[in-house]
A and B are shown apart, each in its own frame.
Chain A
């Protein structure tokens, strides 16, 4: 287990290095003068040249790249025009908000998606199933930011139950979470429904029922554990959606996470900041997938000794 974890963690730095390299090259293709952006519109030509030299923008590309990597080794992402320095501390300040949103979306997905799938499977082709399957189809087509707007229109403007934006206690977490989680809930509910229906046809279920176990026990003790692995794997496959969707949802609800900061960085063309946050998103993606694999390993004894 420890060995597996170590091997998985060891491949992360090279992947992140690759991501940094690709982004570095892409951002160097940007038209426009970085020194001018950093100096501001009122700067004189001499000031711009001084800043160009200070930021190392007058050096060859390879030297700039080397300096960038060297800086990364001690957590320095370079000069961000928004923060007038290394953006990392300011980004890290905002990480908890994004983590809270992502974690609560995953929690909602599990708590709603799996039971909804089971319900639909056990009432196959009856009203509950049609309702669940219909909602699944709808939630897979609806853009999360529109769903968020509808929630604002109904829950804050209409009923005045919840604040429409901001970061203030559990109340303000509800709507962003629902907007972000809707697609995941739909995917997990659909998958759970299919898996449960498939498992229920297998001989071990008939055996368990024949020896007198209740349906309830068969479902929770035997069928669900078998369905867990594909469900968790599917969550991992949607890690990209979860993180990307967070950017849009954070902007809609003025949620102070790193996605909101990323869009702020786009507004002022702060490429140092954009690169840093994008790399952090890639790291988040890798860690989420690692977590998914570890959970799979934990719930499936067959994989443990492999």
Chain B
């Protein structure tokens, strides 16, 4: 684990833009309301769909709200919708994968079968089906992204743990009579840490894409919450008269995904030079 932290720090220090970007995102997420130039919900009916100007850097939307302010205050909910499911998927995926990969036998087969079944359904379709059950709100979104992100992660961990199970030091730990949790948490999982960290950061990028797609489809947090995907969904009908309404929110999503992708690629280069493209 310590190795993973050090590598993450090194990857960050090598990429100054990433650090600046991360600081900016964190700042927006925590202090959004303070940093936003306008009230994100204040409607200015004299300035509907105005093009970007010095007063409104990203223009105004269909009811005259400042788009930049909505993007800044929306950082928190957009990132929470991506990161909370990734954390949950990490917890569930790692436990399932580790238990299955380590124990082997019928437990392994049962978990593998479940993963296989869930992976047969395209991720976004599975997420939509979950939203249909839980509801089109933040909880539904988190559940949907968690369920669709867990299987691929669990499968990867399972394969890695199955490999590590054959290592001499694991056999030694078993012979020494260590208990299962101790072997798993102190000996097996730390060696799978790099795989987990890389996968989680790549997963975060995918989670942003799935979350914003659901928001765009109207299946995410409901307006007027300034989640970036649902902002795009709400303003899409104005694209013909005021194309600027879709530019800034989409760019914000793309930059966030880009940041997570870069983090994942950087970590992969550091840990696993053979895998990098």
Contacts and interface: CB of A to CB of B under 8 A. Distances in A.
Contact of B123 (A19, A149, A191, A244): A244
A153 B122 contact: no
A152 B235 CA distance: 14
Contacts of B247: 150
Interface string A132-162: 0000011011111110011011000110000
13 contacts: A19-B120, A26-B129, A137-B261, A143-B257, A145-B216, A145-B232, A149-B246, A149-B250, A152-B239, A245-B124, A247-B128, A281-B121, A282-B122
Given A26-B130, A142-B254, A248 B124 contact: yes
A255 interface: no
Main secondary structure of the interface of A (DSSP, over half): helix
Contacts of A262: 125, 128
Given A29-B133, A285-B121, A194 B255 contact: no
B109 to A, nearest CB: 13
Nearest to B236: A149
Contacts of A18: 113, 117
Contacts of B258: 137-138, 140-141
A243 B117 contact: no
B269 to A, nearest CB: 13
Interface string A111-146: 000000000000000000000000001101111111
B239 to A, nearest CB: 6
A23 interface: yes
B239 A143 contact: no
A243 B122 contact: yes
B130 A247 contact: no
Most B C-beta atoms less than 10 A away, residue of A19, A23, A143, A285? A143
Nearest to B120: A282
Given A146-B246, A146-B250, A146-B253, A278 B120 contact: no
Contacts of B130: 26
A269 B236 CA distance: 24
A27 interface: yes
B236 A252 contact: yes
B277 interface: yes
A266 B219 contact: yes
A23 B261 contact: no
A65 interface: no
A274 B129 contact: yes
A278 B121 contact: yes
Most A C-beta atoms less than 10 A away, residue of B119, B126, B253? B126
A263 B113 contact: no
Q: How large is the interface on A (under 10, 10 to 19, 20 to 34, 35 or more residues)?
A: 35 or more
Given A146-B232, A278-B125, A286 B120 contact: yes
B90 interface: no
B256 to A, nearest CB: 8
Contacts of A247: 124-125, 128, 217
Given A19-B117, A141-B257, 15 more contacts: A18-B117, A27-B133, A138-B254, A141-B258, A142-B250, A143-B213, A145-B216, A146-B232, A149-B236, A149-B250, A240-B123, A248-B217, A266-B219, A278-B121, A282-B120
A195 B115 CA distance: 30
A282 B121 contact: yes
Contacts of B120: 15, 19, 282, 285-286
A265 to B, nearest CB: 8
A22 to B, nearest CB: 6
Contact of B240 (A26, A29, A157, A191): A157
Contacts of B107: none
B121 A149 contact: no
A262 B219 CA distance: 12
Contacts of A266: 128, 131-132, 219
Contacts of B229: 143
Nearest to A277: B125
